[in-house]
Chains A and B, each alone.
Chain A
Amino acid sequence: QQQVKQSPQSLIVQKGGISIINCAYENTAFDYFPWYQQFPGKGPALLIAIRPDVSEKKEGRFTISFNKSAKQFSLHIMDSQPGDSATYFCAASGNTPLVFGKGTRLSVIA
């Protein structure tokens, strides 16, 4: 049973466009929702994270939107750039180790 469901599996976006990746979770005990970015040959790195007491968090071009009642959260990348091409993972945790979504491979084309 997958605790965090992520979609889409892959995404192609034009340079300057908006990239949107969605995640849904089941466990209401989760209280921390990060997004990780992974480039080929590297380990994942924290991009941005949110806790359920806020509905949105923005850091530069990256925004997390969080809907507690729907148990969903999403990552929005504004003005997407070729350098954003990477694999993105949503994740969630409570008092337990992080569980990850299956990942989204984003390609930003010029």
Chain B
Amino acid sequence: SAVISQKPSRDICQRGTSLTIQCQVDSQVTMMFWYRQQPGQSLTLIATANQGSEATYESGFVIDKFPISRPNLTFSTLTVSNMSPEDSSIYLCSVAFGGNEQFFGPGTRLTVL
């Protein structure tokens, strides 16, 4: 099975700043996704990271707030822009290898003060 890593594992940031989260997979994947897991809430899909094209965002999420890059088949970044305390959450990337199953990274725990 593939190894999925995320950097940073956790961070504490000041409001109004931005943080870029990296997701690296040790093999090529068909699809990559970014989810958010807020305290006491279920995981929610932010966007699908498309290789070579713009990400596809879910309702309620916009590119200006969560810009995403996917320069190749093993790497993606999610930026959380102009942060507020409401952005405090765990951010997770997931990957799919061609089937319907998604496999998750370890997550990035973000606290915004």
The judgment on whether A and B are partners is: no
User: Chain A: residues with CB nearer than 8 A to chain B?
Assistant: none
